[in-house]
Homo-oligomer: A and B are copies of this chain.
Amino acid sequence: MTTIVPVSSRLSASMMHNPLLISSILEHAVRCHGDIEVVSRRCEGDIHRYTYTDAAKRAKQLANALKAHGVVEGARVATLAWNGYRHFEIYYAVSGMGAITHTINPRLFPEQIAYIANHAEDEILFFDLTFLPLVEAVAPKLSSIKTYVLMADKTHMPAAPKLPNLQCYEDFIAGHAAEFDWPALDENSPASLCYTSGTTGNPKGVLYTHRSTVLHTYGANAPDGFGLTSDSVLLPVVPMFHVNAWGTPYMCPAFGCKLVFPGPAMDGASLYQLFEQEGVTLSAGVPTVWLGLLNYVRTNNLRFSTFKETVIGGSACPPAMLREFEEIHGITVVHAWGMTELSPLGTVCRLKRAQKLLSPEAQFAIKVKQGRSVFGVDMKIVGSDGKALPHDGKAFGDLYVRGGWVCAQYYKETESALIDGWFPTGDVATIDTDGFMQITDRSKDVIKSGGEWISSIELENLAMSHPAVMEAAVIGVAHAKWDERPLLLVVLKPDASLTAADLLQFYEGKIAKWWMPDDVVFVAALPHTATGKLLKMKLRDEYREHFSAQ
């Protein structure tokens, strides 16, 4: 595609130009799904339930309160909160009035939270009861926040508040009118803000617009995406502080789906009770959270009566978990892939008609892939020469994406985040002829040997399939002749023993010969990030001279 050709104003007048706005989502819900429930487990411990009609009224009260408080269009309003109805009201009140909902991840280090809130110049911070100690601890470092609002009623306010200008949410909105005329914003106005933290440098903000959010709502909820209908009951386990709970708080009211918020109670017993009590049909979350739920259900020999489908993203679903969901519980696992910069949805792994006729094992081999792009997202893979690679399921290269809900420029950055109009994901992937993408590595971890690429993840997975191996890491180390060659680092299981030669022998016939690691180092432990990911950067530093020193 080249430069966009503008159309004459005479012709462009033919169809209505209604801006795509977040406020239109909740208004639609009120008109068509006004009686559909939003159920929340509260930090206070009890269950709260009301309807989309009630939610819209309170969102309007909150918008009036914020306006009275001096919040103007474009102002940043922060949250540190679980999935719950007050958080939902903040989403719609803040974005609807033209301000920016800035959801902060409470699991970050306090220093990161302070950096993010100060960088965004947040004016107000809404937070859940759970996070009162965290907020009190970090408050001295917050330079722009003028008002703190505790998302609770008066009975739960601290007796001796340590925070300056601390308000109670229910008092904050009380007395304000439940009528508010949502402004007709430009659809390219910013609506919400999420920061993404890499392994290096400061977190960066992705500033979603009303247009990108509404297009994502349509695209992510296409029938082969989330596919939520007025028949569905969704419990999003993925948090509203993590890429807007994958957009589900927008999809549900737009398509009439009942919404069940788990609040802070993410343990197996609490989740199971809520799934059963509220007739949850569909859920969405990262693999970790399902461990607790599956474990609880297994231990207590329970069954789900309404739960039919779960969307799993964030990281790849372990095959054993996929089998437990599908074979024991008859719950379809739908793999999905996305990132903060993609609002977040890029791909969903739903089998196509012809694929459903394949053998169970062949289907399984597809289900572990990240899936095909939803309509609205384009993908390509690019080799080291910058040229697009074929979509044959074999060639792997840097994954680039493009589309109406993809980040073009990080918040307050002056440079574009794009390369030739495409967003570089930092992942290395294959794409097959059916459009199914599978991530094979992170771009920074792939090993560049003699102009060809070697997947570090594939070599690690093979090593970890050896019965003596507990954990493995493969890194590219500088090599005089081949630029880089793979080095395998291994942690053995307690009391296991293994030689380098035996392990390399184990690889024989499973990989191309030139993929064979040049050396094996046995170590007692491997370094990890705070969220449990391998810190390969540290390993690369440590073993920088490994092959040159040999």
Which residues of A does B touch, CB under 8 Å? Answer: 1-7, 11-20, 24-25, 27-28, 31-35, 73-74, 98, 181-186, 188-190, 206-209, 211-212, 215, 217-219, 221-224, 227-231, 254-256, 258, 350, 352-354, 356, 372-373, 375-376, 378-379, 391, 402-409, 411, 416, 418, 423, 433-435
**B408–A186 touching, CB < 8 Å:** no
- Nearest residue (CB) in B for A213 is B15
Central interface residue in A15, A183, A434, by most chain B CB within 10 Å: A15
Distance, CA A463 to CA B409, complexed state (A): 66
What 3 A-B pairs come out closest when comparing CB atoms? Answer: A32-B435, A1-B184, A218-B218
Q: Which of these, B32, B181, B434, contacts A35 with CB under 8 Å?
A: B434
Q: In angstroms, how far is the closest chain B Cβ from the Cβ of A214?
A: 9
Q: What's the Cα separation between A378 and B26 when bound, in Å?
A: 12
Cβ contact within 8 Å between B16 and A408: yes
Report A465 CB to chain B, min CB distance, Å: 31
The CA-CA distance from A408 to B18 in the complex, in Å, is: 10
- Please determine whether B352 and A256 come into contact, CB atoms closer than 8 angstroms: yes
Contact B207 A14 (CB under 8 A): yes
A sample of 16 more A-B contacts (CB under 8 A), given A7-B186, A18-B402, A31-B373, is: A1-B183, A5-B98, A14-B190, A14-B208, A15-B404, A15-B405, A31-B435, A34-B435, A217-B375, A218-B222, A222-B222, A223-B227, A223-B228, A224-B229, A231-B356, A258-B353
> Is the Cβ of A209 less than 8 Å from the Cβ of B2?
no
25 CB-based A-B contacts, threshold 8 Å:
A4-B184, A4-B186, A5-B183, A5-B184, A7-B188, A13-B408, A14-B206, A14-B208, A14-B209, A14-B407, A16-B406, A17-B188, A28-B378, A31-B378, A34-B435, A215-B218, A218-B218, A218-B222, A221-B222, A223-B223, A223-B228, A223-B255, A224-B256, A230-B350, A231-B353
Report the Cα distance A353→B70, complex, angstroms: 42
A3, A379, A408 — which one has the most chain B CB atoms within 10 A of its CB?
A408
Is the CB–CB distance between B373 and A211 below 8 Å? Answer: no
How far apart are the CA atoms of A15 and B217 in the complex, in Å?
15
| Distance, CA A18 to CA B403, complexed state (A) | 6
Nearest chain B residue, comparing its CB with the CB of A375: B254
Question: In the docked arrangement, what's the CA distance between A490 and B416, Å?
Answer: 72
Contact with A12, one of B2, B12, B33, B189 (Cβ below 8 angstroms): B189
Q: How far is the CA of A7 from the CA of B218 in the complex (A)?
A: 23
Asked if A211 and B15 sit within 8 Å, CB to CB, the answer is: yes
Min Cβ gap A116→B in Å is: 16
**Complex Cα spacing A403 to B214, Å:** 13
Q: Which B residue's beta carbon lies closest to that of A73?
A: B5
Contact A15 B183 (CB under 8 A): no
Minimum Cβ distance to chain B for residue A131 (Å): 27
Distance in angstroms from A363 CB to nearest chain B CB is 14
Q: Bound state CA distance, A155 and B503, in angstroms?
A: 68
Given A16-B408, A206-B14, A28 contacting B183 (CB threshold 8 A): no
CB distance from A52 to the nearest CB of B (A): 11
Q: Which of B224, B255, B375, B391 contacts A375 (CB 8 A)?
A: B255
Q: Is the CB of B207 within 8 A of A15?
A: yes
Contacts of A230 in B (CB 8 A): 224, 350, 352-353
Among B16, B186, B255, contact of A402 (Cβ-Cβ < 8 Å): B16
A391 touches B31 (CB 8 A): yes
Residue among B6, B215, B221, B405 making CB contact with A186, cutoff 8 Å:
B6
CA distance A418 to B16 in the complex (A): 9
Contact B208 A15 (CB under 8 A): yes
The distance from the CB of A378 to the nearest CB of chain B, in whole angstroms, is 7
**In the complex, what residues of B have CB within 8 A of residue A5's CB?**
73, 98, 183-186, 189
Residues of B within 8 Å of A411, CB to CB, are 14
A354 to B5, CA, bound (A): 49
Q: Are B17 and A408 in contact (CB under 8 A)?
A: yes
Give Cα distance in the complex from A31 to B11, angstroms.
32
Nearest opposing residue in chain B for A377, CB measure? B28
Find the B residue at minimum CB distance from A227: B223
Question: In the assembly, what is the distance between CA of A35 and CA of B391, in Å?
Answer: 14
- The CA-CA distance from A20 to B181 in the complex, in Å, is 29
Once the chains bind, are B184 and A3 in contact (CB under 8 Å)?
yes
Known: A4-B184, A223-B229. A403 touches B16 (CB 8 A): yes
Contact B375 A11 (CB under 8 A): no
Across the interface, name the chain B residue whose C-beta is closest to A434: B32
Residues A183 and B2 in contact, CB atoms below 8 Å apart: yes
Q: What chain B residues lie within 8 Å of A73 (beta carbons)? A: 5
The distance in angstroms between the C-alpha atoms of A207 and B11, with both chains bound, is 8
How far, in whole Å, are A218 and B405 apart by their CA atoms in the complex? 14
Known: A7-B188, A32-B435. A423 touches B16 (CB 8 A): yes
Of all chain B residues, which has the CB nearest A25? B375
